[in-house]
Structure 1
Amino acid sequence: MDIRQLARGTVEWDRLERVFHTLVDRYDREVVRVQFLEADNWLSTPCVVDDEFFVKIVTRQNALVHAVLTTGRNVGAFSSGTEGFFDRFDTPLEMVEHEYEATRRMRESGLNAPRPIEAFEANGLGVLVLEYLPEFETLEELSPEEVADLAPELYAMLSTLHEHGLAHGDLRAENILLSDGDLYFIDATRMREDRSAETAAYDLACAMAVLEPQIGGRETVRAAATVYTPAELLAAREFLDFVRLRPDHEFDTTQLRSEVEKAADLGSR
């Protein structure tokens, strides 16, 4: 069994049925058609309902795994010379309410994100209902040429997110979608709002870590420099080693660090 599937656990069928009966009642339908998705994640059981709604079902075990991951990330943040800035959730309901609110705030700031519909608790499970995007590609599925064209837009979206007092906290290729020609952010996690400088630098480091394997360090940093100042690039550099420790990021830290330093040096002249 895959480690992520083991950590995520399984939800008893009768509990899932109660969730779907709740959806039938809430949306005044006679029945709903459910398609479970094989998703590479630790923190929910995802499914599509009636080809209209994307639904995440979160268990207490999912909340516990999130708490463990959060602790590990905060410990890792010390490697960058800062206190931890990730926040944990105590219950499944808190997890889905946060994602609902984060998605709503992203859309209010003018960014593309699936439309949030509702978040509620059913039979001890957290349930998040979002708009379903039927056709999309993740950033890792695109060609290097497509990624290079989209890189400045990605950085501009991230900058807009931070300008509105938000942070993503879990920016990786599978959380950046291209649908009908538009980039979307999904799956933002909870970050401490009083640590905006650090969280913005961390997000930028994650974005560069996502792009470098596909378009190389030089192009990655060149695109970032069209949006970010030399000081902001250097702040992100301090988090590259921390990001490299995460199992969902594989990139050339040395090359990326070198390109950041070159760009910052040129930009400060």
Structure 2
Amino acid sequence: MALRRLLRGTVPWEQLEGVAAAVLARYDEPAGRVEFLEADNWLSTPFVVNDRWFVKLITQQNSLVHALLTTGRNLGAFSSGTEGFFEHFGTPYQMAEHELAATRRMRELGVNAPEPVEAFEYEGMGVLVFEYLREFETLDELPAEAAEAHAPTVFDYLHRMHEDGLAHGDFRCENVLVADGTLYFIDATSVREEGIADARAYDVACALGALEPLVGARVAVDAVARYYTTAELLAAEEFLDFVNIRPDHDFDAAAIRGAVEQRAN
């Protein structure tokens, strides 16, 4: 967490106050309460305004970190025998605009995501506003039986995105929220259109890796097999080692391979 905080950087208090005031002014709120969140991410400073709006503030440093992460992930993709498919946007505002558009598209496909409100620029920073989910748990905070019950929905949502030419690109437990029994996807990233097939396989590998410690390899593979063909599962298998070296994934790749190959045979 300390490393993430260091890389995310510290936004001067006067700028944070200015962004909060801008959000209140845009929605005709004369005054408001601001709560800053200790989120486990590298790419924004998150806070909540009036218990109503979830705001992500994206700085130039966040954009630089995103560029470095994108380069590293693309190098990792090469190790799986494919060209890199992650994409970086040049400015904080462009990053905010992309996430806003991706979230809107997900919702159009029937994938639950917090309602996107708008993206705007403030003093060279990108500001992204969503509805605020007041109470939620991340996927890895659920009891095992609840995670198992939600596993098919995870792959249903990914499949809807993939069938429409969209990929998530950063699937991990922290980016899957459950509020009032409903599953939500957040923080979709950008992938290059020419690499969409590999990005889909990578998404499936990430989801299998996220679910395996929670529900076991067999249950995870049974859930993915409802929506993906054997060939697609074998393609995802090629990315398991790449995914497992990420600091936010830790799973038994051999167990997943065994469950995939048992189904394939």
TM-score, normalization: structure 2? Answer: 0.98
**Cα distance in 1 for residues equivalent to 2:148 and 2:16:** 42
Task: Name the amino acid aligned to 2:66.
Answer: H
* Equivalent residue runs for 1:9-158 within 5 Å: 9-158=9-158
Alignment partner, residue 159 of structure 1: 159
- Give the structure 2 partner of residue 261 of structure 1: 261
Answer whether contact 1:18 1:123 (CA < 8 A) is retained: no
Asked if the contact 2:83/2:195 (under 8 Å) is kept, the reply is: no
Residue deviations 1:134-161, cap 9 Å, x none? Answer: 1111100001111111111111111011
SS at match of 1:10: coil
Q: Does 1:225 align with 2:230?
A: no
Where in structure 2 are there 5+ consecutive unaligned residues? none
The letter of the residue matching 1:256 is I
Amino acid at match of 1:65: V
Find the residue that maps to 1:177 and give its secondary structure: strand
CA contact under 8 A between 2:240 and 2:253: conserved in structure 1? Answer: yes
SS in 1 for 2:216: helix
One-letter identity of the residue aligned with 1:156? D
* TM-score under structure 1 length normalisation: 0.96
One-letter amino acid of the structure 2 residue matched with residue 44 of structure 1: S
Quote the Cα distance in structure 2 between the aligned partners of 1:66 and 1:176. Answer: 20
Q: Distance in 2 between matches of 1:109 and 1:37?
A: 29
- The CA distance in 2 between the partners of 1:55 and 1:263, in whole Å, is 43
Q: CA deviation at 1:21?
A: 2.0
RMSD of aligned residue pairs (Cα, Å): 1.0
- 1:221 is matched by which residue type in structure 2? V
Match of 1:210 in 2: 210
Report Cα offsets for 1:81-122 as digits up to 9, x if no partner.
Answer: 000000012111011111100100000111100110000101
**Hey, what's the Cα distance between the residues in 2 that align with 1:34 and 1:42?**
21
Contact residue 43 and residue 66 of structure 1 kept, 8 A: yes
Deviations 1:46-99 (CA, angstroms, capped at 9, x unpaired): 001001000000110000000000000000001110000000121110111111
Per-residue CA shift, 1:16-73, capped at 9, x if unaligned? 1211221122111211210000111101000010010000001100000000000000
Whole-Å Cα distance in 1 between the matches of residues 18 and 81 of structure 2? Answer: 47
Specify the SS of the correspondent of 2:130.
strand
1:201-239 deviations in whole A, cap 9, x for unaligned?
000000000000111111111111122110010000000
1:187 paired residue number: 187
Report if the CA contact (8 A) 1:19-1:123 is conserved.
Answer: no
- Percent sequence identity is 61
Deviations 1:179-203 (A, max 9, x none): 1111110000011122221111000
**Aligned equivalents of 1:216, 1:50: Cα separation in 2:** 40
